[in-house]
Amino acid sequence: MAQNSHSASESPEASNRSFGAGTRRFRGLLAWIIFIALGALCWFAIDRVIVDRSPIVVGILHSQTGPMAVSEKSMIDAEILALEQINAAGGLLGRPVEWIIADGASDPETFAIQAEKLIRTDNVCVVFGCWTSASRKSVLPVFESNDHLLVYPMAYEGLEQSPNIVYIGAAPNQQITPAVSWCHSKLAARRYFLIGSDYIWPHCVNAIISDQLKGVGDELVGEFYIPFGSTDVDAAVRAIVAAKPDVVLSSVVGDSAIAFAQKLRAAGIRPEQIPVLTFALGENELSTMKRDDFTGNYAAWNYFQSIDRPENTAFVSAFKARYGKDRTISDVMNAAYSSVILWAQAVREAGRTAVSQVRYALHHQSLNAAEGIIAVDPETQHTWLPVSIGRIRQDGQFDIVWSSNTAVRPVPFPITRSREAWEQFVEDLHQQWGGKWAAPANMGGASGGVINAPASIKSSKKSDSSKGKGSSR
Which string of DSSP letters, residue by residue, matches 230-250? ----HHHHHHHHHH--SEEEE
Distances (CA, A) of 311 to 89, 222, 303: 18, 41, 12
Q: Which domain-ending residue is among 385, 400, 428? A: 385
410 and 422 within one domain: yes
Q: Which domain-ending residue is among 385, 405, 426? A: 385
Q: How far, in whole angstroms, is CA 265 from its chain's centroid?
A: 30
Distances (CA, A) of 105 to 63, 132, 231, 455, 470: 5, 12, 17, 37, 12
Question: Strand locations in 239-379, DSSP E?
Answer: 247-251, 276-278, 298-301, 366-369, 372-376
Average pLDDT, the chain: 88
Distances (CA, A) of 182 to 179, 207, 209, 213, 435: 5, 18, 13, 12, 36
Total count of domains within the chain: 2
Assess if residue 12 is contained within a domain: no
pLDDT of residue 289: 83
Query: What type of residue sits at position 295?
Result: T
298 and 197 within one domain: yes
300 and 205 within one domain: yes
Assess if residue 37 is contained within a domain: no
Q: Which domain-ending residue is among 349, 367, 385? A: 385
Write out pLDDT tens, residues 397-416.
Answer: 999 999 999 999 999 999 99
Is residue 463 predicted with pLDDT exceeding 50? no
165 and 180 within one domain: no
Residue 85: phi and psi, rounded to 5, are: -65, -40
Of 147 and 52, more confident: 147
Write out pLDDT tens, residues 200-228.
Answer: 999 999 999 999 999 999 999 999 999 99
Q: What is the CATH number of the domain that holds 60?
A: 3.40.50.2300
pLDDT of residue 13: 61
Of 457 and 346, more confident: 346
302 and 377 within one domain: no
Beta-bridge mates of residue 298? 277, 391
Q: Would you give the DSSP letter of residue 128?
A: E
Assess if residue 219 is contained within a domain: yes
Assess if residue 3 is contained within a domain: no
pTM of the model: 0.83
Domain of 250 in residue numbering reads as 173-308+389-465
Which string of DSSP letters, residue by residue, matches 372-430? EEEEE-TTTS-EEB--EEEEEPTTS-EEEEEE--S-B---SS-TTS-HHHHHHHHHHHH
pLDDT band at 26 (very low <50, low <70, confident <90, very high): low
Write out pLDDT tens, residues 356-369.
Answer: 999 999 999 999 99
Assess if residue 261 is contained within a domain: yes
Euclidean distance between CA atoms 360 and 140, whole angstroms? 19
301 and 208 within one domain: yes
Assess if residue 199 is contained within a domain: yes
Which string of DSSP letters, residue by residue, matches 146-198? TT--EEE-S--------TTEEE-S--GGGTHHHHHHHHHHHS---EEEEEEES
